[in-house]
Structure 1
Amino acid sequence: MKRFAAVTLAVLMLLTVFASAASAQDAIEIRGPVFNGSNIQEIVGTDGITIDATQFAAFFYDINDNVTTETLSIINVPGNNGNVIGEGGLVYETQIQQVEYEFTDAAGWDNYSVIGFFAEKYIPLKPNSADKLAKLVLDSDDRYTIRTGETLDLGEGYAIEAKQVDVDGEKVWLEFTKDGEFVDDEIISVTDPDRSTWEVELDDIEDEDDVVVLKVHVNQVFQGAVDSIAQIEGLWLIDYANAMTIESDDEFGELNDVSIQGDRLVIRNDDTITLTRDSTKEIAEGMFFKVADTPSNVLRFYVMKEITDPGTYEVRGQVATGDFTWDATNFAGFFYDIDDDVTTETLSVTGLNGGNVIPDGGLVYQTTIQQVEYEFTDAAGWDNYSVIGFFAEKYIPLKPNSADKLAKLILDSDDRYTIRTGETLDLGEGYALEAKQVDVEGEKVWLEFTKDGEFVDDEIISVVNSSQSNWEVELDDIQDEDDVVVFRVHVNQVFQGAVDSIAQIEGLWLIDYANAMTIESDDEFGELNDVSIQGDTLVIRNDDSFTLTRDSEKEIAEGMFFKVADTPANELRYYPFVERTVGEVSEIDDEEEGPSENVTAPGEENVTAPEDENVTAPDENVTEPGETPVEEPTVGDTPEEEGGEGAPGFGVVLGLAGLLAVVYLVRRNN
Structure 2
Amino acid sequence: MNSLPKTLYLILAAFTVFLLLAPAGMGASIRGLTVDTNEASAEEFCWDATTFGAFCYPVNKHQNFVNDSIAWGERLRIEDIDITHGTFGTSGPSNHVLDEGELVYSTKQFCCKYKLVSELGLSGDSIPEDMGSAFYWKLPFFAKPYIAIENDATQLSSIVCMQGGSDKKTLRTGETWDLGKGYTLTVHQVDAEGNKVWFSLEKDGEEIESAIVEADGTVESQAFTATADFGDGNDQLYFVTYVDSVFMGSVDSLAVFKYTWLVDKDNVLVIENGDEYQGLEVKEASETGLVLKNPDTITIDVDSDKKTYFTDSWYFQTSDDGKGTEGIGYILYPAMDLSNPGTYKIRGLTLDTGINDASSFGWDATTFGAFCYPVNKHQNFVNDSIAWGERLWIEDIDSTHGSLGTSTPSNHVLDEGELVYSTKPFCCKYKLVSELGLSGDSIPEDMGSAFYWKLPFFAKPYIAIENDATQLSTIICMQGGSDKKTLRTGETWDLGKGYTLAVHQVDTDGNKVWFSLEKDGEVLESAIVEADGTVESQAFTATADFGDGNDQLYFVTYVDSVFMGSVDSLAVFKYTWLVDKDNVLVIENGDEYQGLEVKEASETGLVLKNPDTITIDVDADKKTYFTDSWYFQTSDEGKGTNGGYIIYPATDVTIEAEPAPESAENELAEVEISPDETNSTADSSGSKASPAPEVRVSNSASSESDDESSEQSPGFGLLTCILGLCAVFVRRK
Do Structure 1 and Structure 2 share a fold, with TM-score over 0.5?
Answer: yes
Tell me whether 1:535 sits opposite 2:603 in the alignment.
Answer: yes
Q: How does 1:210-359 map to 2 (within 5 A)?
A: 210-240=235-265, 243-278=268-303, 279-295=306-322, 297-322=328-353, 323=358, 324-341=361-378, 343=381, 344-351=389-396, 352=404, 353-354=407-408, 355-359=411-415
- Verify the 8 A CA contact 1:165 1:229 in the aligned structure 2: yes
Does structure 1 residue 566 correspond to structure 2 residue 636? Answer: yes
CA drift at 1:74? 1.5
Contact 1:44/1:76 (<8 A) preserved:
no
- CA displacement at 1:94 relative to structure 2: 0.9
| SS of corresponding position for 1:415 | coil
- Classify 1:536/1:213 alpha carbon distance in 2 versus 1 (closer, same or farther; 3 Å): farther
Partner Cα separation in structure 2 for residue 59 and residue 168 of structure 1: 48
What amino acid is the match of 2:175? E
Question: Secondary structure of the equivalent of 2:351?
Answer: coil
Which amino acid is 1:360 matched to?
E
The structure-2 alpha-carbon separation of the partners of 1:398 and 1:160, relative to structure 1 and needing over 3 Å to count, comes to farther
Map residues 535-554 of structure 1 onto 2, 5 A cutoff.
Answer: 535-551=603-619, 552-554=622-624
Q: Structure 2 CA distance, aligned partners of 1:519 and 1:155?
A: 49
User: SS at the partner of 2:164?
Assistant: strand
**Is the Cα–Cα contact under 8 Å of residues 47 and 75 in structure 2 kept in the other structure?**
yes
CA distance in 2 between partners of 1:135 and 1:516 (Å): 49
Confirm whether residue 61 of structure 1 aligns to residue 64 of structure 2.
no
- Alpha-carbon displacement from aligned partner over 1:100-155 (angstroms, at most 9, x marks no partner): 44553334494432122122222223323344242454332312222111223334
Distance 1:474 1:209 in 2: 75
> TM-score when scaled to structure 2?
0.72
Between the aligned partners of 2:458 and 2:559, the Cα distance in structure 1 is 34
**CA distance in 2 between partners of 1:490 and 1:520 (Å):** 36
Give 2:162's aligned residue: 138
Q: Residues of 2 paired with 1:450 and 1:202: CA distance?
A: 66
2:540 alignment partner AA: W
The answer (yes or no) to whether the contact 1:83–1:274 under 8 Å persists in 2 is yes
Bigger proportion of residues as helix:
2
- Residue 218 of structure 1 deviates from its aligned partner by 1.1
- The answer (yes or no) to whether the contact 2:453–2:465 under 8 Å persists in 1 is no
CA distance in 2, matches of 1:181, 1:453: 58
Give the corresponding residue for 2:139.
Answer: 115
Aligned length: 576
Contact 1:369/1:403, CA 8 A, preserved across alignment: no
1:485 Cα offset (Å): 3.4
User: CA shift at 1:316, angstroms?
Assistant: 0.7
Post-superposition offset of 1:166: 1.4
CA displacement 1:316-357 (0-9 Å, x = unmatched): 101112331111111111111123436411111133242222
The 2-side partners of 1:418 and 1:532 are apart by 44
User: In the TM superposition, what are the counterparts of 1:389-400 in structure 2 within 5 Å?
Assistant: 389-400=456-467
When residues 189 and 360 of structure 1 are mapped into structure 2, their CA distance, relative to the original with a 3 A threshold, is: same
Residue 366 of structure 1 aligns with which residue?
A: 422
What SS does the corresponding residue of 1:298 show, helix, strand or coil? coil
8 Å contact kept, 1:27–1:582 = yes
Q: Which segment is superposed worse, 175-184 or 52-61?
A: 175-184
Structure 1 gaps, min length 5:
1-11, 585-614, 622-633, 636-670
* Counterpart residue type for residue 339 of structure 2: T
Whole-Å separation in 1 of the counterparts to 2:238 and 2:577: 50
CA distance, structure 2, for counterparts of residue 388 and residue 200 of structure 1: 56
- TM-score using structure 1 length: 0.78
Say whether the 8 Å CA contact 1:122–1:135 is kept in structure 2: yes
Please tell me the residue identity of whatever aligns with 1:504: V
Q: Within 2, Cα distance between the matches of 1:155 and 1:501?
A: 49
| Contact 2:153-2:290 at 8 Å conserved across structures | no
Matches within 5 A, 1:94-109: 94-102=107-115, 104-106=118-120, 107=122, 108=127
CA contact (8 A) 2:487 2:572 kept: yes
Whichever residue aligns with residue 474 of structure 1, its letter is T
CA deviations over 1:384-404 (Å, ceiling 9, x no partner): 432222222333223333344
1:129 is aligned to 153
Q: Indicate the structure whose relative CO is greater, using CA pairs within 8 Å and at least 6 residues apart.
A: 1
- Output one character per residue of 1:527-578: Cα deviation in whole Å (capped at 9) or x when no partner: 5224311213111122333222211311111311111222139322111011
In 2 relative to 1, CA 215–523 (structure 1 residues): closer, same or farther, beyond 3 Å? Answer: farther
Label 1:530 to 1:421 Cα distance change in 2 as closer, same or farther (>3 A): closer
When the two chains are superposed, the root-mean-square deviation of aligned CA atoms in Å is 3.3
Q: CA deviation at 1:526?
A: 4.5
Of 65, 73, 77 in structure 1, the residue corresponding to residue 77 of structure 2 is: 73
1:469 match: 538
Partner Cα separation in structure 1 for residue 186 and residue 455 of structure 2: 51
Greater displacement, 295-304 / 378-387: 378-387
Find the residue that maps to 2:495 and give its secondary structure.
strand
- Paired residue for 2:435? 378
Mark the structure with the bigger radius of gyration.
2
Shift of 1:185: 2.5
* Sequence identity percentage: 30
Residue 522 of structure 1 is matched in structure 2 by: 590
The one-letter amino acid paired with 1:390 is F
Q: Partner residue of 1:639?
A: none
Read off the aligned partner of 2:219 and give its amino acid letter.
P
Give the Å deviation of 1:207: 6.3
SS at match of 2:251: coil
Distance in 2 (CA, whole Å) between partners of 1:249 and 1:255 is 10
Q: Cα distance, 1:431 vs. partner?
A: 3.5
